[in-house]
Amino acid sequence: MIVQGPDTHTGIKKYISLIRPHTLTASFVPVLVGTFSVLLFAPIRWDMFIAMLIATLLIQSATNMFNEYFDYKRGLDTRDSVGIAGAIVRNGMSPGLVFNIAVLFYILAAAIGLYIAFSSSLWILIIGVISMAVGYFYTGGPVPISWTPFGEVFAGLFMGTVIILITFYIHTGTLHYFPLLMSIPVAITIGLLNMANNIRDRKKDKESGRKTFVILVGKPFAVMTSAALLAFCYVFLVWIAFFESFGSIFMLMPLLSIPLAFNTVVKWKNGDTPVELIPAMASMGKLNTMFGLLLSIGLLIYGVTGI
């Protein structure tokens, strides 16, 4: 029997919490960036935009569910665990149901992927299968990616760069270095969202046997690395805006998020326990969203005006 507490959800709320809505910006921001990068080269195919957006949201939601399922199976999640959906340990959902919903979401995403592939290129099928496999093996399989030092790299690469390049390709039928450049800061912020999670959970992760980057180098160096990568994102956009042939002053819009980035790093530095680091995790989520949306808006204005 599940005794309801302040973090217990029932009805539709437990299903909403299962997909972890606060993480889904890591899905739709790359689709927006990839789509608005198209404006300099071709018109937007709105059917492709909608299909890609839904497919990525489904895959991200399913990945979150697989994470919930496998962490429960490995005994990592309890009612007191911080930063989990709590679908199984708090809300009374059966592990099998959580797993089956994740599989259903993958099937729906695959069906949409077939539509995208037959409307653009069959190569999309191969890339889509690889991306879905990474989503599953991120927490599933004998050696989950999230248990290695490469979790942040895989998250940023597949949720950032790969999604942006696929999105650009299904609109234009070609690849170009411009969306690749745009994907770099997006991939970094998505990877750092993962890093923030690992900084918060480092003690529990170490006890469970994980070998994440944060555990291997320690919290102070991980925070320093995160700060340096955030600084690089802003410097990189300044370089593109003023020194790249496809640069635009509107690409500087993400610089408006610098105060939030600074506050996020301070929260990382000052927090120690999982509870103390919850604000840092939330701040990084807001930063990922704000940075990505500002970049998307800048690309949209640039694409429409050509300035």
For each of the domains in the chain, give its residue range(s) and CATH number, in order of start: 12-305 (1.10.600)
pTM here is 0.89
- Given a cut of 60, is residue 162 above it in pLDDT? yes
- Cβ neighbours of residue 6 closer than 8 Å, sequence gap 6 or more: none
Rounded to an integer, what distance in angstroms lies between the CA atom of residue 246 and that of residue 178? Answer: 7
Contact 291, 233 (CB under 8 A): yes
pLDDT in tens, 91-135: 678 888 889 999 999 999 999 999 999 999 888 989 989 988 998
Residue 254 has pLDDT above 70, yes or no: yes
Is residue 192 a contact partner of residue 284, using CB atoms and an 8 Å limit?
yes
Residue 32, both tokens: 């927006």
